[in-house]
C-alpha cells in the first residue's frame, strides 16, 4: 500500500501515487490558474456542493492554502491529477475526514475537456485504496446529485454501494436536490 511521505511541519504530505494514466500528487500554488480555468465552466461546478461560482485564481489560492492547513492537521487529503503523458493537470480528488475520523467523504472533479477518458475511475479507485490502506479508514462515503449518472457509474465501478436517496437543500445549487448516498466499506 501507499506510504505517506514528505514531512511538512508536524504533519505529513502524501507522496505521489501513479496509476496507468495519472499521477496523483499534492496540490501546488501554481495549479491555481488551471483550477480557475476549469471552474469557469458551470457544467463542472454545478455537480459539486461546495465550489463557489463564479470562481477565479484568488478562489483557487484560498482553497489550496486551506487544503494545506487541513492536510497538516490530518483532516483532509487532496491530490491534483496530472496526466502522465504530458503532465497536464486534469482535475483533483479529495478525502475529508468526518467527525467520526474512521470515515471520510470522497470528492472529485475533472476539467470538462478531460471527461470520458477513464481518469475519474482511476482516481477514485486509487484514492479509495489510499484512504483505506494508508489512512486506515473503515468507510469512504460519497454523494452524487441524482442526475449525475457518470459520477454514479464511477463510484459503482470502484465498488461503492448505493445507499439512501435523500433530498437536501443547496441554496447555491438551485435549492432542494435529490442526492444518492454511496459508501465503500474496508474489508
Ligand X SMILES: CC(C)(COP(=O)(O)OP(=O)(O)OC[C@H]1O[C@@H](n2cnc3c(N)ncnc32)[C@H](O)[C@@H]1OP(=O)(O)O)[C@@H](O)C(=O)NCCC(=O)NCCS
Residue 153 vs 176, nearer CB to ligand X = 153
- The single residue among 13, 14, 48, 68 that binds ligand X, judged by CB under 6 A, is 48
For the purposes of burial, counting CB atoms within 10 Å of the CB of 93, is it exposed (0-12), middle (13-18) or buried (19 or more)? buried
Backbone dihedral region for residue 160 (phi beyond 0: left; psi -120 to 50: alpha; all else: beta): beta
Residue 115 vs 170, nearer CB to ligand X = 115
Measured between alpha carbons, how far is 183 from 161 in angstroms, rounded to an integer? 5
CA angle in degrees (0–180, nearest 5) for 98-101-103: 65
> Which stretch, 80-88, 125-133, 144-152, 159-167, contacts ligand X (CB under 6 A)?
144-152
Please report whether residue 149 would count as binding ligand X according to CB under 6 A. Answer: yes
Size of the site for ligand X (CB under 6 A): 20
- The single residue among 148, 159, 179, 183 that binds ligand X, judged by CB under 6 A, is 148
Residue linked to cell 454501494: 161
Nearest to 17 by CA among 153, 140, 180, 126: 126
The DSSP bridge partners found for residue 79 are 26, 93
Residue 40 vs 121, nearer CB to ligand X = 121
Helix boundaries (H) for 6-141: 32-38, 42-45, 57-72, 119-129
- Smallest separation (angstroms) from ligand X to the CB of 53: 12
- Smallest separation (angstroms) from ligand X to the CB of 5: 27
Please report whether residue 71 would count as binding ligand X according to CB under 6 A. Answer: no
Please report whether residue 179 would count as binding ligand X according to CB under 6 A. Answer: no
- The single residue among 39, 108, 130, 160 that binds ligand X, judged by CB under 6 A, is 108
Here the cell at position 129 is 485504496
- Smallest separation (angstroms) from ligand X to the CB of 148: 5
Measured between alpha carbons, how far is 133 from 169 in angstroms, rounded to an integer? 34
Q: Which residues bind ligand X (CB under 6 A)?
A: 44, 47-48, 108-110, 115-121, 144, 148-151, 153-154
Amino acid at each position: 500500500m501507499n506510504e505517506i511521505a514528505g514531512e511538512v511541519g508536524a504533519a505529513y504530505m502524501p507522496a505521489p501515487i501513479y496509476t496507468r494514466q495519472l499521477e496523483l500528487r499534492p496540490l501546488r500554488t501554481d495549479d491555481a490558474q488551471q483550477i480557475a480555468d476549469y471552474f469557469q465552466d458551470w457544467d463542472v461546478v454545478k455537480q459539486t456542493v461546495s465550489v463557489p461560482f463564479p470562481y477565479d485564481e484568488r478562489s483557487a489560492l484560498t482553497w489550496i492554502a486551506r487544503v494545506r492547513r487541513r492536510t497538516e492537521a490530518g483532516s483532509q487529503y487532496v491530490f491534483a491529477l496530472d496526466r502522465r503523458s504530458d503532465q497536464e493537470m486534469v482535475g483533483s480528488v479529495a478525502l475529508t475526514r468526518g467527525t467520526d475520523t474512521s470515515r471520510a467523504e470522497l470528492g472529485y472533479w475533472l476539467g470538462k475537456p478531460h471527461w470520458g477518458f477513464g481518469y475519474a475511475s482511476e482516481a477514485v479507485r486509487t484514492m479509495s485504496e489510499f484512504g483505506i490502506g494508508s489512512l486506515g479508514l473503515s468507510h469512504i462515503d460519497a454523494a452524487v446529485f441524482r442526475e449525475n449518472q457518470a459520477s454514479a457509474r464511477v463510484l459503482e465501478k470502484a465498488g461503492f454501494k448505493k445507499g439512501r436517496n435523500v433530498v437536501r437543500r443547496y441554496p447555491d445549487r438551485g435549492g432542494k436536490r435529490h442526492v444518492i448516498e454511496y459508501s465503500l466499506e474496508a474489508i
